[in-house]
Amino acid sequence: MTTKTRIETQATPVVSPLRIPDFRLLWLGMTSVSLAVQFYAVSLVWLVLELTGSGVALGALLTTAAIPRAVSMLLTGALIDRYPPRRIMITSALFNGLLMSIIALLLGGGWMSLTAMFIIAPLIGLMDAVFYPSTTALIPRLVTREQLAPANAMMQTADTVANIIGPALGGIIIGQVGLLPGFALNAALFFIGFLIICNLSRATDRHSVGESEAEQEPFAKAVVSGIRYALSKAPIRISLLMIAMLNFAAIGPIVVGGALLVERRFEADATMYGILMGAFGVGSIVGSLVIGAYGTAKRPGVVLVWTTFVLAAGLIGLGFAPSFWVAFAMLLAIGIFGAITNVNAVTWLQMKADAHMQGRVASLLVFAAVALDPFSNGIAGALAEIDLTLLFVAAGALLAVGGVVSLFNNTLREE
C-alpha cells in the first residue's frame, strides 16, 4: 500500500505555478516592470542623443548609472533577507514610476538637462538592482519545491518577451509621438507593476527571516556573511562561478561579434542584425518553455555541465558560419540551451540555499550574471579587431575548459 501510494504520488503531474494566485500576481507584476525597464533603455538613449547628440555623453551616463547598480547588487541581498521581498519590490516599482514621472514633467516644462539625468539615472539603476533579486528570492516562498523549475522558466520567458517587445515598443512610440508621451507610458508601466505587486498576499511577509540572525547582524556584517556563505557551499559557489563564466564568455561575442558578423561577413544592415538577435531571444523563450513543460533535471548540476559544452560548440560554430541563416540557426540553438542552463542553475541555487540566505544568494546570482558584461563586450571588441573567427573560437574554448573542469566535480552530480 505504501509503495503504491508512493508511485501514484510520483506520477502526479506538477500543478502549474500560474494556478497559484500569488505567483500569478508576481509574474504579471514582474512582466510589467520588465517591459518598463526595457522601454526605459531605449527612451534614455534617445533622450541623451536629443539633448547632446554626443556618443561620449551617452557612454558616460550609462557608465555612471551602471557602476552603482552593479555595486549595490552585492549589498541588496542582506536587505532582502532582513525585510520582506514583497515590500522591497513595491518600493522599487513605485520609486521608478515616480522618477519616470519626474522626467516627463521636466520634458513637459522644458527643464530637462543632462545634469538632471546624471542624478536620476543612477537612482533608477539602484531600484532595478533591488527589484530582480527580490523576485528571485520570493519565488521559493510562493511555490512548492517541485514547481520551482516551471516557475523560474515562466519568469524567464516573461523577461525574455519583455526584452524583445520593450525596445521595439519604445522605439515605435518615441519615433511616432515623441519622448514626453514615451516617458509617460514608461511611468504607467511601472505604476501598473506597482499596483499588481501590492495585491500580493501579506502572508508572504511572515516567511521573512525576521526570526533569524539576519535581522540582528549589522548590515555590513550580513553582506560579508552572505558572501562567505556562498563561497563555503560548494553547489552555490560552483553555480555562481559557472553563471559568471557563461555570461562573460557569451554576451560579448553574441552582442558585439553578432553585429560584426552581420556587417563584415554577411554585408547586411541593422535590420538583419535585429533579426539575428531576435533568433537568440526566440531560442530563450523556447528553452524556457521546455523547462516549464518538463521541469528541471534530476541532477541540475550535470545538465549545467553538458549544456556548457553545447554552448561552447555553438559559439565556435558561429565563428565559422558561412551564411546569415546558418548563424541564425546557431543563435537560435544557443538561446535554447542558454535558457535551459540558466533555469537549471537558478533552480538549483534556490534549492541549495537556506531560507535565511535566499536574498543574499539571489543578489549574488544577479551580480554574477551581469557584472562582467562590460568587460565581455570590451574584450570581444578587441579580439574581433584581430580576427572575428578568433573571437568566437576563444569564447567557445573558454566555455569548454570550464565544462571539463566542472565535469570532474562530484558536487555537480548531487540531486
Give pLDDT, residue 148. 86
The Cα 151–Cα 34 span in angstroms is: 16
Q: Which three cell numbers stand for residue 39?
A: 522601454
Cα Rg, the chain, nearest whole Å: 22
The Cα 328–Cα 272 span in angstroms is: 10
Q: Could you tell me the end-to-end alpha-carbon distance of the chain, in angstroms, rounded to an integer?
A: 27
- List the chain residues with pLDDT less than 70: 1-14, 55, 206-216, 270-271, 295-298, 300-301, 412-415
**Dihedral angle of Cα 60, 63, 64, 67, to the nearest 10 degrees:** -160
CATH 1.20.1250.20 applies to domain 18-216? yes
The Cα 397–Cα 312 span in angstroms is: 7
Q: Which fold has domain 226-413?
A: Growth Hormone; Chain: A; (1.20.1250)
Q: At residue 409, what are phi and psi to the nearest 5 degrees? A: -95, 115
Residues whose CB is less than 8 angstroms from the CB of residue 343 and which lie 6 or more positions away in sequence, other chains included: 149, 152, 153, 156, 287, 288, 291, 296
What are the C-alpha distances in Å from 300 to residues 80, 243, 340, 348?
A: 26, 13, 10, 6
What are the C-alpha distances in Å from 18 to residues 14, 27, 384?
A: 11, 8, 44
> Shortest CA distance to 46 belongs to which of 36, 35, 57, 34?
57
The separation between CA 305 and the C-alpha centre of its own chain, rounded to angstroms, equals 20
Give pLDDT, residue 208. 47
18-216 and 226-413 have identical folds: yes
The three-class DSSP label of residue 30 is helix
Span 259-282, pLDDT tens digits: 788 888 888 776 677 778 778 888
Q: Which three cell numbers stand for residue 393?
A: 573560437
Please state the length of the chain: 415
Q: Where are the domains of the chain?
A: 18-216, 226-413
> Shortest CA distance to 65 belongs to which of 22, 114, 134?
114
255-293 as b/e, with b when 16 or more CB fall inside 10 Å?
A: bbbbbbbbeebbeeeeebbeebbbbbbbbbbbbbbbbbe
> Shortest CA distance to 240 belongs to which of 223, 227, 253?
227
